[in-house]
Structure 1
């Protein structure tokens, strides 16, 4: 087949691929031949991508990058790609040198068309990556169900063409202060790495106030390099070093007792590269939540920090300790909206928990404090021939009525989701005193559930305490709707930067960061210079 006819066939294929509201009739041969070589080249290059075909088709396959008036557009894209590493993105995947070469080679219509579509593809890849993240976390870790805010390609191209290109590119990444602080910390860590890192590691199992010697000097020097201690020449574990250890422990989720025990020494001995990897992953996790909307109120559960917070207009207005899922029953990561609370809740035992923890005992003839339920009504266990059933075909639901020993305590907070995860009170409040609080079957238990309820209800009643306590006193299971639904984020952040510029880190209790960090490195994201 002659080359020109082959190209015209590709044009027709591109047109056929484009989603349209009405049926398209393939162009007659004479009309097809009327396409310029430039348009033919664009149609052929875009043919495999329906969104790009639709975009270019609606512009009669005219170029958008390789015309003289697109100089700012090209410059904005090239600059963004040059600075992609600032965001911890896989720079090599964008092929910036190949794009530059394509632009330089665009001296004839055919080459211009190829370069134009190449630029569009690279723009879309970069825009999606920097806006909504470049990993597909759910494909890597089954317990991540975060819907990434990837934007429609056609809309992205259209909005970009209608905007100031430099401003548009600058607005694609998350604009939150937390993301900006992480980027600043990334630069600081890179500078530290280039200048020797944190210095020699601490060669001791533990250290405490009053100790002296080389290991104390190593501890002192690393804390100085990390910004916890002013310049000092002391070789003694004195009060200033103790205060620095307390501050370090508080920033790393370790009991702040001022004694450098095994956990503290291990955290102090982490390298600049370790921290850089944590920060880069934290930036990626921020991108997963970059929905571009302004929320005046959020509920934020950081699983690694064992804390639940209410954030109003960017400021934390309520905070409470939390218990999360045990390591073998991990709490998933996802976002939803809180719709209501239930005061004096009953507990309908999830089937997975019932099969594991309750049904075998019931079938064996053991007693239970749970009600057997069928079609919403209680069933007398004595009237049931349990020998007819197995764990897998047990026909009854299990319910614990409201009461002081109910597994959900006195209140639960609902954001209905397919994971059956919610926030609730607990009769096991003693667990809140532990440093690592991973004990639940997946739901989030709160240390201060009543105060949390008052805080949420204060926006819709003048007497939140009276409303809540009045319902609680009845003992009746009662649903209280929230007048305005509140976005809820269950996240797994092991690193963030506080407003004072200090890096916070937490232990990777589920091992998720280790897996995601490997994926980031395999994508080609590595620290420019690394040192311990």
Structure 2
């Protein structure tokens, strides 16, 4: 009876204290949220204000007994934000530490708001990017959907542990996750001192004896290109080292000749800090990407000059491409390929007409005829062909040009034998090319912005079904008819034109590429020092 009396006495008091704490903390939190004394921008966001109002300003991260488990989960993630290529200091880490152990009621409630503000900022950064791409890269036009913050807050509020909730905010694409692993690897290399720069010296090649050969072995062993290093201290350049140099060159988009000349030496001298920043920049670009790319899609990586046909996250076909010149660079954007055209006509864009083709015609009056290019005036029923010899070209410019040029289908057509159409405001599409020899170049920036593909027949077969030999033969048969034919795809296929300067290949190799359009340079200053 005595025990029962004590229990009856204890629980009402405990409950009363808890209710009192709830009332006081909610009142205090409402006041702090309204006054926002430290002017935390996140606390002015409508989603946070509505969230707290709907839960009657009940704290999210603590109760009468102290901090909840979810608060520890969030703190752990913030401390380790560097794992995602982010900066822990961006998420109020020092302020949170300042109030973390405070017993003063007002400071404890303020800690709750600090944690919520940190959650808001971190979740948006890791989900859709630390920076708005529109502010840093005028050539990036791929959009990720905004994070549903209200849904996130609801998920956090109903879970004691939020480790998994926070983990799933980052892109789950293998491209991002593999970069994340490499970021840790390169930071470990930095922790151990990175690598030494190569001083100026002769070209190192098989058979050479030179003191830098020992340094070269050590360097390639660090980056995993040299796995058989029994001759670590020998200064003879043997065939095993030559093969390791080739692997390094392939990973960096260099001529894989096994010789360490000027270009390879400059690449080897890029610091580990620069490589870390390059990885972080490309992780940021992945955060700008949509979370769902599609079960089947095309991806063109401009700096690698390659097109990938992706199925269920894996590349089933890789194909060399040619991209825009530096002064006519190809932007990053996405679209849906819904139609193809065999033996296409090419309506030459106005800027190319005025800047490139008219000057050639003036210098060579037979140029249009040799290239099967015809001059027209009017459109539709009013379209009529004009004899170029009757036009006074010197009286025309881009603002006053009543004509247009079209190249007939055939072996001379700049689009090759197949054109792949997808809607976009840039007049960019994929197509073949008669200039096959350009695919032998390492750096392939030769187009006016469009993407030239090496094997449009094979790509057509894949877009039509599974890329079977029979389908390729059907495509070829249609092309050989010689007539202009428009083909609607059975299923529209997403395409993404991206700018990765760091990525992991199918064999697990860490690839780096030169910043051909200077787009990394624009982002560099925003990523601090590494």
- TM-score, scaled relative to structure 2: 0.84
Contact 1:51 1:154 in 2 (8 A): yes
Partner Cα distance (2:123, 2:446) in 1: 40
Match of 1:268 in 2: 268
- Write out aligned runs for 1:347-496 (5 A): 347-359=346-358, 368=368, 369-376=373-380, 377-381=383-387, 389-459=396-466, 463-496=470-503
Per-residue deviation, 1:352: 2.4
Per-residue deviation, 1:445: 0.4
Query: Which of 172, 175, 179 in structure 2 is aligned with 1:178?
Result: 175
Partner Cα distance (2:96, 2:120) in 1: 14
Per-residue deviation, 1:359: 4.7
Contact 2:47 2:149 in 1 (8 A): yes
Per-residue deviation, 1:305: 0.8
Contact 1:198 1:226 in 2 (8 A): no
Match of 2:30 in 1: 39
Partner Cα distance (2:193, 2:298) in 1: 40
Contact 2:338 2:488 in 1 (8 A): yes
Residues 240/72 of structure 1: CA separation in 2 closer, same or farther (3 Å cut): same
Per-residue deviation, 1:387: 7.4
Residues 363/52 of structure 1: CA separation in 2 closer, same or farther (3 Å cut): farther
Query: Which of 147, 164, 172 in structure 2 is aligned with 1:151?
Result: 147
Per-residue deviation, 1:439: 0.6
Contact 1:42 1:116 in 2 (8 A): no
- Write out aligned runs for 1:163-174 (5 A): 163=159, 164-174=161-171
After superposition, the CA RMSD in angstroms is: 2.7
List alignment gaps of at least 5 residues for structure 2.
1-25, 37-41
Contact 2:351 2:398 in 1 (8 A): no
Contact 1:203 1:215 in 2 (8 A): no
1:280 aligns with 2:284: no
- Write out aligned runs for 1:95-174 (5 A): 95-105=92-102, 107-108=104-105, 111=107, 114-163=110-159, 164-174=161-171
**Is 44-53 or 308-317 further displaced after alignment?**
44-53
Contact 1:363 1:389 in 2 (8 A): no
Secondary structure of the 2:488 match is strand
Partner Cα distance (1:467, 1:112) in 2: 72
Residues 68/423 of structure 1: CA separation in 2 closer, same or farther (3 Å cut): farther
Partner Cα distance (1:168, 1:443) in 2: 41
Partner Cα distance (2:497, 2:293) in 1: 18
Residues 249/59 of structure 1: CA separation in 2 closer, same or farther (3 Å cut): same
Secondary structure of the 1:199 match is coil
Residues 363/204 of structure 1: CA separation in 2 closer, same or farther (3 Å cut): closer
Q: Deviations over 1:83-112 (max 9, x none)?
A: 10111102211111212334545743x655
Contact 2:503 2:511 in 1 (8 A): yes
Contact 1:300 1:309 in 2 (8 A): yes
Q: Deviations over 1:112-156 (max 9, x none)?
A: 554433322221110111122112233223222231343133233
- Write out aligned runs for 1:254-333 (5 A): 254-289=254-289, 291-293=290-292, 295-333=294-332
Partner Cα distance (1:380, 1:200) in 2: 63
Per-residue deviation, 1:39: 2.6
Match of 2:75 in 1: 78
Residues 374/162 of structure 1: CA separation in 2 closer, same or farther (3 Å cut): farther
Residues 117/348 of structure 1: CA separation in 2 closer, same or farther (3 Å cut): farther
Contact 2:374 2:407 in 1 (8 A): yes
- TM-score, scaled relative to structure 1: 0.84
Partner Cα distance (1:347, 1:269) in 2: 45
Contact 1:329 1:441 in 2 (8 A): yes
Query: Which of 49, 55, 80 in structure 2 is aligned with 1:53?
Result: 49
Partner Cα distance (1:300, 1:253) in 2: 18
Contact 2:133 2:288 in 1 (8 A): no
